[in-house]
Chains A and B, each alone.
Chain A
Amino acid sequence: MRGVRATVDRLDRPSAYFNNSRHKRRRFDKDQRDGDDDTAGMHPEQREDDDPLKNATTLYVGNLSFFTTEEQVYELFSKCGEIKRLVMGLDRFNKTPCGFCFVEYYTHQDALDCMKYIGGTKLDERIIRTDLDPGFEEGRQYGRGKSGGQVRDEYREDYDEGRGGLGRAIARDREGRDFVDDGRLR
């Protein structure tokens, strides 16, 4: 572990999404005191051993356009190292790209570098996001939304040409509901 906290944030850390979903269960078990939210982040050394991301070579890549091709992903992501495997996220029903993918490198360092240098930059003129991922498993390439795509595209109210226009369904019960980014860990 890197030990001392750096004087500026590191970009090669897993996102809050990952940490939250991992610790949600733990947190619900406890009585919820106000301001207790950040207990998950307080004892990094205790969780070091079982950290599933400590040697992660895979990245979840989100906010792609539906039209972005594998070749484009290869072109950009190869700048951080040779790609071992690329799995495009697909619509569960019609098997067309639905705006995310998994990129697997040969080394952990390449994956970290990708977080630092490519996450948050543009591909196909969209800002893409990257997140460390414990590894692709069969089934995770499919969208988990009702209509087959990613859940975020169900509830989206804005018009996004690269992601099929308007959200596919606007859920009535959006309040109090967690957004789930499909293909990712629950």
Chain B
Amino acid sequence: MADYDRRGGGGRGGGGGYNRKRRYRDDNEDDNHYRGNNSRRRYDAPPHVRIRKQLIAIAENPMVERHDEISQIANLFTENWDDDVLLRGNFTDLVLQLCVEQPLKTPFLAGVLMVVNTNKPEAVDLLLEKVARLIEDKLREGEWRDVKLYLKLVGCLQGVLEGEGVFGVLGELFERAVGLQTASSEDTIGTEIVKIILLTLPYVMAAGSPEQQQQWQQNAAELLENTAIIASEPHPLQAVIEPYHPEVGEENPSQSQSLISLLQAQLQVEATQGWALSCLPRPWQFPVSEVETVAKLASAKKHVLPAIVIPKTVVTGPRPLFPEVYISVYGQQEVESVPPPTSLASSLIRDALLDTINVLHFNRNATARQLIEVDCYFAPRTFALRGTPFDRLRDIEKPKSTWKPEDVAVDAVFTQLFLLPNPEHKLVYYHSVLTEACKLAPAAIAPSLGRAIRYLYRNAPRMDLELAYRFMDWFSHHLSNFGFTWKWTEWVDDVELSGLHPRKAFIVGSIDKEIRLSFAQRIKNTLPEPYQKLIGPDKEKDVPDFKFANDDTPFAAEGREIAALLKRKAPDEEIDAVIQRIQSQAIDRDLDALVASTDVFVTCVLYVGSKSLSHVLAAIERTKDRLADAGAASDASRTQIIEAVMAYWSVHPGVALSIVEKLLNYSILTPLTVINWALNVQAGKTRGQALAYAHIYELVFNTVIKVTGRVRQLVVKASQPDEMVDDETRDNEVKNMRELFQAIEDSLGAWATGTKDEMLEKGEEGSDELVKRWGTRWLRVFKRRQAIEEAFLIEAVRERERKEEVRKEWEVVEQQRAEEKAKREAAEKEKNGTNGEEAKKKENGEDGGEGDVE
């Protein structure tokens, strides 16, 4: 990089093209550029390539002084301003793209722009015009994160804006939020807007010189006074997304705080402390030694922020909005390893990290790298040294920071993994980010993850059940990427707990998931002795036993016969005959004939297909008509289908679940059958114990997601004019979904209150309380799902209307703009007479300089 400096701006051949000027080796050249004798001649990349490269990598290298890097990029750009016209647009576009793709870098980009401003202020005008239009677009689309990220850039540029700058936009946004909040107490868009305002404010306040800041304090105070009411108002949906719930008899630990009320409080504290904002980087502040730049920056041109039209109607946008609460897996530690929730730094750092994580979903390696390098993107000394072990934090003397960058990064990923109702991306994305982070910096990240796991394990009983399941799913998946190593010995005491204890349930569930990703013998080898008994000998069998191989099983002979017929793909009539025989025998024995024959038949299909999932799927495909008939014959017979599947594959529930999923696709099973089997039949048989089995939860959850996913698909399709979805189909599916939720609620409600028939007789000591607790936890999950789906149905209609409003409104704005432009041009033309053409050119921002190609 250093050699770019020496080149200066002069001696450039033909404008804009690839500069193939040859460079020869000179003595003080860095040898690394050449590899021995067979070195290739090295060509300098053209300026636009170098600028792109440097801009993208800005702030990544901790060995380079920030202000050096910034002036270098800025100078490279302004030096080529005249030679390369394309570069002007490309540069500003790239800055804006980086703002929304790598938001941690925004303050540094603003730094570059401020130095550029001292030389080519028109570049800043060009950028401001573009960003104003982008913010308008994103506001109309409801892309709230992009709005926030662009405002962050504009906020960082507040120092070079005229008058009150960004405060005008923030004020108007606030008015919109007030309107929304007064219209409905359930509004979430208004809350989102206030969040954006509050998160922009610190960047604005950090942007200017002390004198400027002084001047804006009044604006900030007014804004904060206004937002207080909205920010402190708890949202009705907050109870639904609460991640922790007190255990029976436990005192309610203080409810989680809403993110927005915390933010408001943090900012108010910050205001009383004169907006120190100590964690924010200020790369535009040059050391006094750089006298010239400092002077230039102070006297640089100020710009008017172009008008930004904020639509009267605003939309929710592509992602549903929910209230958010603050969580951390590093709370309650003896030494503070992450910023406390009272500190504004906790909100600012996390917000920037979360944006980074969610925006960079298309490259988890890049995400992981930025997470690990988080300390590069904030003010120096915000964090403790990278990789400082937790035990060493207590040796750090005040006022030095004890915040561990690894903890802060890992904490941010966990907030997404544990975000209710859903994070932005599939959960496995967040798994993969943690995996990559751990691969990139194992020594630093692994211990942080270890402490997070311990915290979560301790709190598993209090956790929302959906989150406890996510924890288990992540934990087992994570271990599968790191040789299944975990210090199981520390939980050894819990192996003896009852199966109803949430921590025992976690252990059992995790081991099962590990086995599913691997195999029993392998996992057994990773576990200490006390755990061995959790993996029974049946787990190590590749194929489960065929119960009809044993003559003591009723219908053993018939079972073997059907299996043989299925194997040789015998015609239906032959199978019919055996089934008839089973049914008549069943009647003699006073059994339900249909149930008996269904059990035999389904078990045989499973046995024939036991070699692999492909085998069983092929077997089901061949017998699907008979299976469908069996399912349609009676409720009991249909329930017997799933009963047979779950029984045959009871040691490998993963396989059972895959089969059930396919049977649902074939409509051989109905969602209601699955729910009934899980929550009434199986849970009843085990007196509630089944509610503690992770695979039962998984079965019910997956089934519900399948149903709600279908409804959502239909609702979206029905709103598109060219799709052939009639209202009746949709309404029918909605009705089915509601019935399903009702059935779940009825059953779980009974378990939660202890009124389920099976619970009427007194059970083992203490087990009733645990069962009720499981019922309550389950109930909460599915009530939330129901609330979300109902909200989706309502919102889908409203959002469509809002979009239409926004569209109409925008048409008017565009027309006005076109008229104004025409008027202005006419006036210019009149004024300038023959010089009209030139004036027009100027207006388009291309000042007809020498390198201009038009």
> Which residue numbers of A lie inside 8 Å of B, CB to CB?
4, 6-12, 69-72, 74-76, 78-82, 86-88, 113, 116-118, 121-125
Contact = CB atoms under 8 A, between A and B. Distances in A.
A116 B361 contact: yes
Contacts of B517: 72, 75-76, 123-124
A8 B477 CA distance: 26
Given A4-B93, A8-B362, A10-B363, 17 more contacts: A6-B362, A7-B94, A7-B101, A10-B362, A11-B363, A11-B364, A69-B612, A72-B519, A74-B613, A74-B654, A81-B426, A88-B614, A117-B426, A121-B435, A121-B481, A123-B480, A125-B480
B661 A71 contact: no
A116 B364 contact: yes
B654 A70 contact: no
Contacts of A121: 432, 435, 481
B363 A113 contact: no
B360 interface: yes
B366 interface: yes
Contacts of A118: 428, 432
Interface string B76-113: 00000000000000000110011001100000000000
Given A7-B98, A74-B613, A79-B428, A124 B363 contact: no
28 contacts: A6-B97, A7-B97, A8-B102, A8-B366, A9-B366, A11-B365, A70-B613, A71-B612, A71-B654, A72-B517, A72-B519, A74-B613, A79-B427, A81-B426, A86-B613, A86-B614, A113-B425, A113-B429, A116-B361, A116-B364, A116-B432, A117-B428, A117-B429, A118-B428, A121-B435, A124-B517, A124-B518, A125-B483
Top 5 nearest A-B pairs (CB, nearest first) are: A79-B428, A8-B366, A10-B362, A75-B516, A117-B432
A6 B654 contact: no
B638 interface: no
Given A7-B56, A7-B101, A8-B360, A72 B366 contact: no
A72 B432 contact: no
- Give chain B's interface secondary structure class: helix
Given A7-B98, A11-B364, A118-B432, A75 B426 contact: no
B652 interface: yes
Interface of B: 56, 93-94, 97-98, 101-102, 360-366, 425-429, 431-432, 435, 477, 480-481, 483, 516-519, 612-614, 652, 654-655, 658, 661
Contacts of B612: 69-71, 88
B516 A6 contact: no
Nearest to A5: B97
Contacts of A113: 425-426, 428-429
- Residue from A12, A71, A88 having most chain B Cβ neighbours under 10 A: A71
A76 B517 CA distance: 7
A124 B523 CA distance: 11
A125 B517 CA distance: 9
A74 B658 contact: yes
B516 A71 contact: yes
Nearest to B654: A75
A70 B364 contact: no
Contacts of B102: 7-8
A122 B363 contact: no
Contacts of B655: 71
A108 B435 CA distance: 24
Given A113-B429, A118-B432, A71 B362 contact: no
A106 to B, nearest CB: 10
Nearest to B542: A69
A152 B696 CA distance: 42
Nearest to B435: A121
Contacts of A12: 362
Given A8-B102, A74-B658, A121-B481, A116 B614 contact: no
Contacts of B432: 116-118, 121
Contacts of A4: 93, 97
Contacts of A125: 480, 483, 518
A74 B613 CA distance: 9
B601 to A, nearest CB: 23
Given A4-B97, A117-B429, A70 B362 contact: no
B364 to A, nearest CB: 7
Contacts of A71: 516, 612-613, 652, 654-655, 658
B234 to A, nearest CB: 34
B513 to A, nearest CB: 8
Nearest to B517: A75
B363 A8 contact: yes
Given A75-B516, A116-B361, A80 B101 contact: no
A80 B655 CA distance: 17
B576 to A, nearest CB: 31
A71 to B, nearest CB: 6
A128 B756 CA distance: 48
Nearest to A122: B481
Nearest to B52: A7
Contacts of A69: 519, 612
Contacts of B362: 6, 8, 10-12, 116
A82 B710 CA distance: 13
Nearest to A79: B428
Contacts of B518: 72, 124-125
Contacts of B477: 76, 79
Given A11-B362, A11-B364, A74-B658, A6 B101 contact: yes
A122 B517 CA distance: 10
Nearest to B476: A75
A134 B652 CA distance: 33
Nearest to B665: A82
A81 B387 CA distance: 36
A79 B426 contact: yes
A80 B428 contact: yes
Contacts of B427: 79
A82 B432 CA distance: 19
B431 A117 contact: yes
Contacts of B363: 6, 8-11, 116
A70 B102 CA distance: 38
A122 B98 contact: no
Nearest to B433: A117
A72 B426 CA distance: 19
B372 to A, nearest CB: 15
A3 to B, nearest CB: 11
Nearest to B513: A75
Contacts of A11: 362-365
A116 B361 CA distance: 8
Contacts of B101: 6-8
Contacts of B652: 71
A72 B516 contact: yes
A97 to B, nearest CB: 10
A168 B682 CA distance: 51
- Residue from B362, B614, B655, B658 having most chain A Cβ neighbours under 10 A: B362
- Residue from B94, B101, B363 having most chain A Cβ neighbours under 10 A: B363
Nearest to B428: A79
Given A8-B101, A8-B360, A122-B480, A70 B428 contact: no
